[in-house]
Structure 1
Amino acid sequence: MTPYKPRRLLPAALVATALVTGACSTHKEPDGGDTTSPASRAAAHTDVLFVGAHPDDEFQSLATFGQWRERQGLSTGVVTVTRGEGGGNAAGPEEGPALGRIREREERAAVGHVGIRNVFYLDKPDFWYTLSAPLTAKAWNRGPQQPTDTLARLVRLIRATTPKTVVTMDPRPFNQHGGHQEAGRLAVEAFRLAGDPTAFPEQITKEKHAPWKPSRLLAQSWKFDGPTGKQCAARRATDPHTGLPVVGVWPGARSRDHGKTWAQVERDAARTYVTQGFGALPPTVDTPADRLPCEWFTVLAEDGRPVTAPVHPQSGLRPLYAEFRDWAQQVHMPWLADDAQPAYPPAPATTVPEVAEAPVVDGTAGPGEYPGETLHLTHWDGKECTPDDCSADARLARHGDDLYVLVHVTDDKKGAALDAADDCKRHWRTDSVEIDIDPRGRSDDTSTTFRTGILPFTAHGGGPCAERDGDSHQGPASSTAPGMTVASTVTDPYHGYTVEAKIPLAGLPTPVDPAHLTANILVYDSDTQDKTGKSRLAWSPYGSAQADPYVWGTLRLPGYTPPSARPAPTAELPLDAARSQDSPASVEQSTRTGVPLGGGAPWGVSGGSSPRQGRGAVSTCGSAAWARPATTRPSR
């Protein structure tokens, strides 16, 4: 067998996987209990292990996990790489680690609806929404950690929990959160490496785990458009892109224990994710059972080996897709990259006129201020709406080194007014305008772009406020975008608003290329007071229009000469993560199961520590003896 070499380097060449039985450690840790007892080993074992990036990534599979438990007696555990510190918060102003701790509580409550007890967090930082798996991997494995740190933790967890089935997220790149992609990639790699004694050998020689080879690997397939109704689970289906088989689990079946459909159980669970706005979901699932779709999963591996499919190479790949193709080849699943890059439609383009006098930033279009063409924004995401419900257009102008943008929005219902003092962030939760600029038109992700969100109104009768989100300089525009000014006018009675902004081109992350600068202008429409969005419009409305610079349209700047070269500002990612040592629920779980906090090394090994000490976790034992008998049915 060809040695397997993941993109995160391992020092030794990897060889064919083999199942090796290892002896359990027999020493006790201070305050940690005996983690080698049969009860402790049983508490760690799970038949199914789900690997996701954020709290709530598992929620659209909870009906499946509940059915597997009730019908086949299969237990499920969840690995969540981050606590979602970089996401929105529909429940309050908390962000960062404080938000992560809230989201952990929500996740534990949600998965409890289907009998899941153990959620293992890897304590990695969540940051703004990105479509880049490489950028996510950089954040999750920042120095002084090794570039394989997250992978090592996941391999350790598979060896500790001995699942027969691993379920993860779709690793494919288009129109999908980079954290989801990276979680899927990590699971693919760890699925193979956990059974290889040469992969992270210290986990075997020092920590006394044994290699563990799961049997089945599934990936959530949210975008698969299969049949609906009870028969969807029996239908043979194939992913049209990869050619791999797809299996379904129908949530319309009734739960014996709950006395309701699994779709309703899943809805009850989903509504506990209040910070993510899921509390606004209707309490009752009213879709007729014969119209309920299956929860679909692509079968990536069976009997411990990849399921193969024909390979259809694509040419002319952009860097993000070429990187994914290379990864798919490295993990010996090149078919995963089939059709990975979509046929991007032609991007729009416009010429930004230069004006002799600078527009007055007052939320109105004065005579002669915006002589260029009007850009019409169209539906991009969410519920489609009528022109009176939500519609928008934009106009642009340039004076010297300043870009001026005026966006007029028609809107029939006012969204929640956020507090400008402590909640001028995560603008997509309510009515807002977003302006995205890629100075040179060459970015593969938004870390090298400028992205600002503008709230046209704020609480307590406040005016507009602006922030930067989704690029490398997060926070209020007053500190992250020097020289930027905004204004707005809001109609009374309310039927819409106008936002106007001045953006200094000299303040963009890199000097502007006047012939290739790209941008997008977006509008978020809420219509509710619960800090959740409803509809989204964009000038260039394709895929993840706010986060995919490949989509953005060209702004031609005739006659513009950018300022002389200047040092680029230092890019920053918000990398402050909530820690398992600060979570009583995680500490209790680690003590009960013997699985280290954060998936790290156990106490006494490579700096690990007991849960009551912090930093690491109690000692854990990884042995093939933990596994259920070979006759245990695999999850279906």
Structure 2
Amino acid sequence: MRRLALPVIAAALAAWLVPAPPSAADPPPPAPAAARHTGDGRLDVLFVGAHPDDEAGSLSTLGQWGEDAGARVGVLTVTRGEGGGNAAGTEEGPPLGLLREDEERRAVGKAGVRDVHYLDKVDFYYTVSTPLTQDVWDHAASLEKVVRVVRETRPKVIVTMEPAPLPGQHGNHQEAARLASEAYFAAADPRVLPGVRTWAPGRLFTSGGASGPAGSACASAFTPDDPGAVVYGVWGGRASARNGGKTWAQVEREAQRVYVSQGWGGFPDAPSDPGEIGCDYFTQAHSRVPFTPGNRDAAAMLEGALAPAAGGLPAGTGFSLTTGSFGVTAGGAFTVTAHARSPKALPDAKAALSVPRGWTVSGSGALGTVGGGRERTATFTVRPPATAGPGRVRIEGALRSARGSGGTATSVEVRPEVTGALEPLPRVADFDGWAARTGLPATTGRVKRVLTLGSGRSREVRVDLANATGSARSGTVTLGLPKGFAAAPASRPYELAAGRTGSVTFTVTNTDAALPTSNAGGDGGDYPVTVTTTGGPGTPDRQRGALELVPVAELPKAAAAPTVDGREEPGEYPGKALDLSRLWEGTACGSAADCSATGKVTWTDDALHVLVAVRDDTPGTVLGADDCKRHWRTDAVEIGIDPRGDSENTSTTFKTGILPRTSDGGPCFERDADHHQGAGPETAPGMRVAATVSEPYTGYTVEAEIPFRALPAAVDPERMGLDLFVYDSDTRDKTGQTRIGWSTWGGVQGDPYRWGLAALPGHTPPPGLPTAAPPPVMPTDAAASVNSPQSIVQAAGTGIPLAGGPAAPPSDTARIVGRPAVSGGTTTFRFRATGPGTAYAHVWDGKVLGTKKITVAGAGTRSVTLPGATGVLAVAFQARGGGTASSTARLTG
């Protein structure tokens, strides 16, 4: 595939241009005739994602809202994706980030989206860990930026990604959703970011939450994942008048193809038959405004926030429900409070509740006169029947007054009096705590509780107990395990005081080591576990979880260090071969000749030695030695080592990607998404690699020597985490098709807890190595908005400062003055500063023609010349004391 060239976007350029403010001494050039921006930068809908392309699966919906409902839609992207792959060229780091920004702006433009805001946070690498992302992005500082953007753009609706740690879910995506959710609440809180006017968005949605049929029925006949949730489907089969009658699904697909750097340029067309096109699904996480539960119109998600709610309530009316507790018990009473406010008087307002059959409600619901923007509340007592079964249910509310009516909804979860659940993974426990603190408890409970267990081994398993009643409870906990597993003891007694929590533990053993491991075992890799807890008067609590078997290996010590030459000589690798042919992502291998592999691992006093033999019938792209990174783009081997076998995420592991050959002839290696990613010789001193590639081509062999001192910590010889992956590409477009390996689940490259376990009998770690990894060396080089002409042009047009930061104060700002002079392929301009800082000037006409960084010592006017003579001059000023100012001028000969 050809390297991506950034096109000249003349129409968009003209539309974004805003002339510099006039001055008495320097009259500005005339405003471009096509200067039509949103002016104040205000939005109706804001989508929040982590990387360019995160919005790509929602563009059908966002585009429909813009075209059919007249919504002004914008995007906030936390990073510019500089840590991702590049199927279009060799750019990486900030240059790749700016390339991906251009892709994103052109992609979303196809759906009518013009404003894209960036926070300038670094896209460091793929991880499933939200805590790691929070540390790298500085959660508090990032939240402040998101709050500022929300208050500046004033969206009525916020749409974001999935915040829960579902399997394979990127930690950056989870954190973007957390930031969006927290900002939804914090933007309305005057205690947060004082001095910037507050704003309360009306509704908050996360992506996903249902499955449904193809065709227009997908918007009404879907099945919600959570029966108590408010879920919407927006059909992509509607035709877009602005796009020549194409379906919105096709418009979305054409937008996705713009992401050439991510290998999306070859995506096929959407189905031509609208009846084969499905829906985008969204789950309401919170609402402050009245809406109609059950409304399935394409713009139903905008009701009450952007569009008036059915029922005639005045615009700006707020109506919502809160519950005393999300978890309730059968027969136990709980409170529900209705909250109402309105800018106009609503006399004799009254709230009412609709609850499931058999439930009772007491409380008058009288609110009196609601008005003046002040909140009035009415509290109800709700009681489920003693026979209510466990599960989530919806409670709907109605607000009625002489001036109109409206609805809302919330949910609760009926739980047994005493519950017992398999201990959560650290990431799940972290998420559950966040959801409770943030006020979004209904977002929990969708991640299956799973624990890993080495094949043929034992582990301790904890069951967490909670007593939701006002009296002490006692009973037993039993683990129900499938054939091939045993628990000791068979059951455990417990006693819990009123309202308290506790736990019991079991030793669980895989008694049948012949059971398949990884995703080949059980149900997609999960062997079911049922936790049965007695102790209440009704049916015992039964909760489900799973055990995941990981493969194990004993690695014998080598008699002598293998020669690192890409070949296996007799006796070099005394251990058993590991089967690396199991699929974990992508297209299944057509045959063993298409893609299959074996691995061997041994060790000496100083190093691990790894040999991987790969069968392959079609070579992928041969990259240059200067492009030895992002190894998943072509044929490659990846080695993952978790020295202590206990890492929560890969920042405390060693991961290396090895290309069997480059255009320079030999192999190369790098470290990726681990404790210290980067070029191999720099980040793994002493590591050596070699490879042989068969001619004619039938595959290759990779061999590596990894010094123990290159690992982030000393190896635990009883349980070192280990995984070997093979990436197979049969194309020349720098995209992979198949991923196989030893311990295999989707996304497993970021899940060290699901890697295999290796024992090194007799191994003594070299002296001086730590038993816990020190803090990781994380990438920090992010693309900056001051270096992005497109971001500067947008900021100048909307008045919303760059990167979610404040505006430069009048006492310390700068702007272009007068008309730039164009001559001999260069541009000379003057700009006036009122204080010290740094200016970043760019000439841009769809690509950067010239750029210059200028240090400003103090107030004054100066003249600057830089290359380039067409398009637009974009200048960002970063005040020394904080804050930015952006100005632009159109260049004319």
Range into which the TM-score falls when normalised by the shorter chain: 0.7 to 0.9
1:136 matched to 2:133? The reply is yes
> After the TM superposition, which residues 211-360 of structure 1 pair with which residues of structure 2 at under 5 Å, given as runs?
211-221=198-208, 224-240=210-226, 244-258=229-243, 259-282=245-268, 284-286=269-271, 288-303=273-288, 307-310=410-413, 314-344=421-451, 345-360=548-563
Q: Which amino acid in 1 is paired with 2:878?
A: G
Residue by residue over 1:37-76, the C-alpha shift from the partner in whole angstroms, topping out at 9 and shown as x without a partner, is xx98754111110001111110111111111112211121
Q: 1:496 to 1:246 in 2, by over 3 A?
A: farther
Q: Which moved more, 1:53-62 or 1:371-380?
A: 371-380
Higher relative contact order (CA 8 A, sep 6+): 1
Match of 2:62 in 1: 65
SS in 2 for 1:163: coil
Separation in 1, partners of 2:790, 2:193: 28
1:90 matched to 2:87? The reply is yes
Match of 2:181 in 1: 188
Q: TM-score, normalised by structure 1?
A: 0.85
Q: 1:352 to 1:188 in 2, by over 3 A?
A: same
Separation in 2, partners of 1:384, 1:72: 43
Match of 1:408 in 2: 613
1:371 is displaced (CA, Å) by 2.5
Match of 1:443 in 2: 647
Match of 1:381 in 2: 585
Q: Which amino acid in 2 is paired with 1:445?
A: N
Residue by residue over 1:296-345, the C-alpha shift from the partner in whole angstroms, topping out at 9 and shown as x without a partner, is 21221223558434287844122222111111111122232214254351
Equivalent residue in structure 2 for 1:161, among 153, 161, 184: 153
Q: 1:245 to 1:525 in 2, by over 3 A?
A: farther
Q: Which amino acid in 1 is paired with 2:788?
A: S
What fraction of aligned residue pairs are identical, expressed as a percent? 50
Separation in 2, partners of 1:493, 1:589: 54
SS in 2 for 1:99: helix
1:488 is displaced (CA, Å) by 1.2
Are 1:601 and 1:608, in contact at CA under 8 Å, matched by a contact in 2? no
Residue by residue over 1:91-138, the C-alpha shift from the partner in whole angstroms, topping out at 9 and shown as x without a partner, is 111111111111111110101101111001111111111111111111
Residue by residue over 1:265-287, the C-alpha shift from the partner in whole angstroms, topping out at 9 and shown as x without a partner, is 111111111111111323x3346
Residue by residue over 1:489-513, the C-alpha shift from the partner in whole angstroms, topping out at 9 and shown as x without a partner, is 1111212111111111232101111
Are 1:224 and 1:239, in contact at CA under 8 Å, matched by a contact in 2? yes
1:543 is displaced (CA, Å) by 3.3
Residue by residue over 1:452-481, the C-alpha shift from the partner in whole angstroms, topping out at 9 and shown as x without a partner, is 000011114x12111001013122211111
Equivalent residue in structure 1 for 2:782, among 560, 577, 599: 577
1:88 is displaced (CA, Å) by 0.7
Q: 1:96 to 1:376 in 2, by over 3 A?
A: same
Residue by residue over 1:380-408, the C-alpha shift from the partner in whole angstroms, topping out at 9 and shown as x without a partner, is 00111222221122111122232111111
Q: TM-score, normalised by structure 2?
A: 0.61
Q: Which moved more, 1:435-444 or 1:468-477?
A: 468-477
Match of 1:13 in 2: none
Q: Which runs of 5+ in 2 are unaligned?
A: 1-20, 29-35, 290-319, 323-409, 452-547, 816-874, 887-893
Are 1:602 and 1:609, in contact at CA under 8 Å, matched by a contact in 2? no
Are 2:58 and 2:280, in contact at CA under 8 Å, matched by a contact in 1? yes
1:392 matched to 2:597? The reply is yes
Q: Which amino acid in 2 is paired with 1:483?
A: G
Q: Which amino acid in 2 is paired with 1:176?
A: Q
Residue by residue over 1:416-449, the C-alpha shift from the partner in whole angstroms, topping out at 9 and shown as x without a partner, is 01101x1000000001000000100111111110
Match of 1:170 in 2: 162
Q: 1:607 to 1:569 in 2, by over 3 A?
A: farther
Are 2:211 and 2:224, in contact at CA under 8 Å, matched by a contact in 1? no
> After the TM superposition, which residues 458-469 of structure 1 pair with which residues of structure 2 at under 5 Å, given as runs?
458-460=662-664, 462-469=665-672
SS in 1 for 2:573: coil
1:290 is displaced (CA, Å) by 2.8
Q: Which amino acid in 1 is paired with 2:884?
A: A
Equivalent residue in structure 2 for 1:550, among 753, 763, 766: 753
SS in 2 for 1:191: helix
1:612 matched to 2:888? The reply is no
Q: Which amino acid in 2 is paired with 1:234?
A: S
Q: 1:86 to 1:309 in 2, by over 3 A?
A: farther
Equivalent residue in structure 2 for 1:482, among 669, 674, 685: 685
Which structure shows the bigger proportion of residues in helix conformation? Answer: 1
Match of 1:629 in 2: none
Match of 1:433 in 2: 637
SS in 2 for 1:343: strand
Separation in 2, partners of 1:488, 1:193: 55
Are 1:429 and 1:526, in contact at CA under 8 Å, matched by a contact in 2? yes
Are 1:229 and 1:292, in contact at CA under 8 Å, matched by a contact in 2? yes
Are 2:424 and 2:450, in contact at CA under 8 Å, matched by a contact in 1? no
1:590 is displaced (CA, Å) by 0.8
1:526 matched to 2:633? The reply is no
SS in 1 for 2:706: strand
Q: Which amino acid in 1 is paired with 2:760?
A: L
Separation in 1, partners of 2:79, 2:783: 8
SS in 2 for 1:452: strand
Q: 1:40 to 1:295 in 2, by over 3 A?
A: closer
SS in 2 for 1:97: helix
Equivalent residue in structure 2 for 1:593, among 798, 807, 830: 798
Q: Which amino acid in 1 is paired with 2:705?
A: K
Match of 1:12 in 2: none
Residue by residue over 1:518-559, the C-alpha shift from the partner in whole angstroms, topping out at 9 and shown as x without a partner, is 011111111111101111112111131101111111011111
Q: 1:247 to 1:570 in 2, by over 3 A?
A: closer
Structure with higher Rg: it is 2
1:198 matched to 2:191? The reply is yes
Match of 1:10 in 2: none
Are 1:277 and 1:532, in contact at CA under 8 Å, matched by a contact in 2? yes
Q: Which amino acid in 2 is paired with 1:244?
A: A
Q: Which amino acid in 1 is paired with 2:411?
A: T
Are 2:425 and 2:450, in contact at CA under 8 Å, matched by a contact in 1? no
Q: 1:333 to 1:80 in 2, by over 3 A?
A: same
Separation in 2, partners of 1:86, 1:475: 11
Are 1:392 and 1:523, in contact at CA under 8 Å, matched by a contact in 2? yes
Residue by residue over 1:591-624, the C-alpha shift from the partner in whole angstroms, topping out at 9 and shown as x without a partner, is 11111111101121998887631363349xxxxx
SS in 2 for 1:152: helix
Residue by residue over 1:163-183, the C-alpha shift from the partner in whole angstroms, topping out at 9 and shown as x without a partner, is 111000101113111110100
Q: 1:438 to 1:479 in 2, by over 3 A?
A: same
Equivalent residue in structure 1 for 2:106, among 102, 106, 109: 109
CA root-mean-square deviation: 2.5
Q: Which amino acid in 2 is paired with 1:510?
A: A
Q: Which amino acid in 1 is paired with 2:182?
A: E
Q: Which amino acid in 1 is paired with 2:712?
A: P
Q: Which amino acid in 2 is paired with 1:249?
A: V
Q: Which amino acid in 1 is paired with 2:648?
A: D
Separation in 2, partners of 1:29, 1:373: 78
Residue by residue over 1:237-267, the C-alpha shift from the partner in whole angstroms, topping out at 9 and shown as x without a partner, is 3225x95333221212221221211121111
Q: Which amino acid in 2 is paired with 1:70?
A: E
Separation in 2, partners of 1:199, 1:576: 29
Separation in 2, partners of 1:600, 1:231: 44
